[in-house]
Structure 1
Amino acid sequence: MTDNSPTLSNKMPSDAESQSPSPAPTKRTWNAFLNEHVEHHNAAIPLAWQSFLTGLIDLILYSRSQVWVGFQTGNMVQFSGNIAQYMLPDYQRQPLLTLERVLSILSFFLGSFVAAVGAKYLGDRTRKWLFLNSVLQSCLLWGAAAILLTRPEDEQPTFQYFPAVLTLSAWSMGMQAAAAQKLTSPHFATTVAFTATITQIAADPNLFKLKSAVRDKRVVGIFSLCVGAGVGEMLLYANTNLRGAMAIVAGFKLIQAFMWFLPKPSPPK
């Protein structure tokens, strides 16, 4: 009778196979790290920080100029009202506000356009583009802060300098909004406008449930925005005032750049 049972050599691996070294782990180069893709579900911290900065910068600039640099819906409505003032007889017109509002709208648009072009060439979700985008935003805010630091603290907005401050700030906010939009976060949106987010929270079927990840992240975005506005009001009340507050915002934006190194990478689509 033939013995069909497997031999010992078929059961056990050879000595050479058992002692062969495991393949060395692939080293993570700096270039590979910068080219990693970031998805919104791993980027809650930097997106919440951006929402915080939106509330901060919009509050401190609107308090002095009555012009938004992030909430462009308000600017468009107010600018349309300014235009209507020129059509009405014997009506008090506001040429400086009219100019500042249209400059804010245009600068936000151009900032978004530049960010879209940069994302096209560097990858809209790569760490290197998100980092570079935030650094450029910080430089724009530092420029606005530098202009303010050359002026007396209590000086009211004039044609001489304040349009440039708003232009640089709105350009920065446009770049932030475009970068956030490319991440297509359903919770933080563009980290600038949250009207739709409020509607989504109200319409959420899990609104009154104890746990709801989607609802909670949306609430975090709105909460971050409101906290930023509160911090901005405190900075204006303190000795920092507008000039110091703008410099702080520029520094916070630079911190934002390094926050893009925190999220776990995701495979590119």
Structure 2
Amino acid sequence: MSETLPTNTKDSPTPSSSLSKSAKPSSTPSIKERFEALIDAPGSTNLISIYACFLTGLTSSPSFTACYIWCGFQTGNVAQLGLAIARTFSPIGERTYGFQKPDQQALTSLLSFWIGTSLGRLGDKIGARRRTWLVLASSIQALLAMAASLAAHYSGQSGIATSRGEPSWTNPLGMTALAFISATMGIQGIVGKRVGSPMNTTVVLTTTWVEIFNDPLLFAFKYTPSRDIRIAGGFAVFFGAFVSRAILDGGGQAAALGVLAGFRMIQVIWWFFIPDKPVKADKA
């Protein structure tokens, strides 16, 4: 006499249920979801941080060539303004009253940098590591670089200073170009800081050099991210300044700033290739 074995309905899914599971398509994030996603930072941002350092050199070269002002390195501008005030009380040499043109340019750059970096508050509200903010920030920088190119072109000045006492970009349009690119550096500084770049803000490399030469693996004969990524960032600034000056000599200040805007747009697109932040699986 044969026996019929009982069937466990819980452990043995019906053919229809298994079919429905296998037929379920994999979910692909929509464009909106891609924008709203958090990027994998700082884990996947090393290359784009090095690229940002390249943009620092590319941006700083036109301002220094025009008026000996570093549009991103604001320590020198603050010190210059202090010296400008001290000269009014100097017992040695000729006293100067009021801000001279180089001092006005330093002040313009500093104030514009402050305005640019203050946009980081908007980024904090949106999400400092959210792709929406990173794309928006880079897009604003590209537009500011385009505006700086137009302002420099219509300023009617060469964009090349003959001496520290005779700077270029002295008229309103030239000062506007300086203000725009200084603001781009302010935005880049807060983005680099919030993303957690190995180069800190990607704008000023003083802290980066300190960290490089105090790295315990400085002389290690192997790949060392803490050292090698930072060194790459330093050389990227150097290379960016070199490229910018070469473009400026060949095509003028407007061309150099126009190329800068193009490189900023590359950064806009690049943010979409940074992986999303991994989602941790819920514990059972």
Same fold flag (TM > 0.5): yes
| C-alpha contact 1:85 1:92 (8 A) present in aligned 2 | yes
The within-5 A match list for 1:45-64 is 45-64=47-66
Q: What is the match of residue 211 of structure 1?
A: 223
Note the residue ranges of structure 1 that are not aligned, 5 or more in a row: 1-6
Superposition map of 1:137-156 within 5 A: 137-154=141-158, 156=168
Q: Which segment drifts farther, 121-130 or 76-85?
A: 76-85
Alignment of 1:3-18 (within 5 A): 13=12, 16=15, 18=18
Aligned residue number for residue 111 of structure 1:
116
- Name 1:74's counterpart in structure 2: 76
Q: What's the RMSD between the two structures over aligned residues?
A: 2.5
| Alpha-carbon distance change, 267 to 14 in structure 1, aligned in 2, over 3 angstroms | closer
Tell me, in whole angstroms, the C-alpha distance in 2 between the residues paired with 1:196 and 1:235.
29
Q: Which runs of 4+ in 1 moved over 3 A?
A: 7-10, 12-15, 17-21
Amino acid at match of 2:29: R
User: Which residues of 2 match residues 232-251 of structure 1 at below 5 A?
Assistant: 232-238=244-250, 240-251=251-262
Query: How far apart are the structure 2 equivalents of 1:51 and 1:131?
Result: 17
Count how many residue pairs are aligned between Structure 1 and Structure 2: 262
Contact 1:180 1:189 (8 Å CA) reproduced: yes
Query: Which residue matches 1:37?
Result: 38
Alpha-carbon distance between aligned partners in 1 of 2:138 and 2:42, rounded to the nearest angstrom? 16
Q: Counterpart in 2 of 1:130?
A: 134
Percent identity, aligned pairs only?
27
Aligned equivalents of 1:35 and 1:195: distance in 2? 34
Unaligned runs of 5+ in 2: 160-167
Question: 1:266 corresponds to which residue?
Answer: 277
Task: Give the aligned partner of residue 235 of structure 2.
Answer: 223
1:152-171 alignment, distance < 5 Å: 152-154=156-158, 156-171=168-183
| Cα deviation 1:116-160 (Å, max 9, x = unaligned) | 221122111111110011111111111111111113353633243
TM-score by length of 1: 0.88
Q: Is the 8 A contact 1:153 1:243 kept in 2?
A: no
The one-character-per-residue Cα deviations of 1:217-248 (angstroms, maximum 9, x if unpaired) are 1111111111101112212222x121211111
Q: Does the 8 A contact of 1:69 with 1:173 survive in 2?
A: yes
Aligned to 2:165: none
Q: 1:255 aligns with which of 263, 266, 269?
A: 266
Q: Which amino acid aligns with 1:136?
A: I
Does the residue aligned with 1:158 lie in a helix, a strand or coil?
coil
Cα deviations across residues 59-82 of structure 1 (Å, max 9, x unaligned)?
Answer: 121011111110111211222222
Task: Kindly indicate whether residue 94 of structure 2 is the aligned counterpart of residue 91 of structure 1.
Answer: yes
Q: Which amino acid aligns with 1:107?
A: S
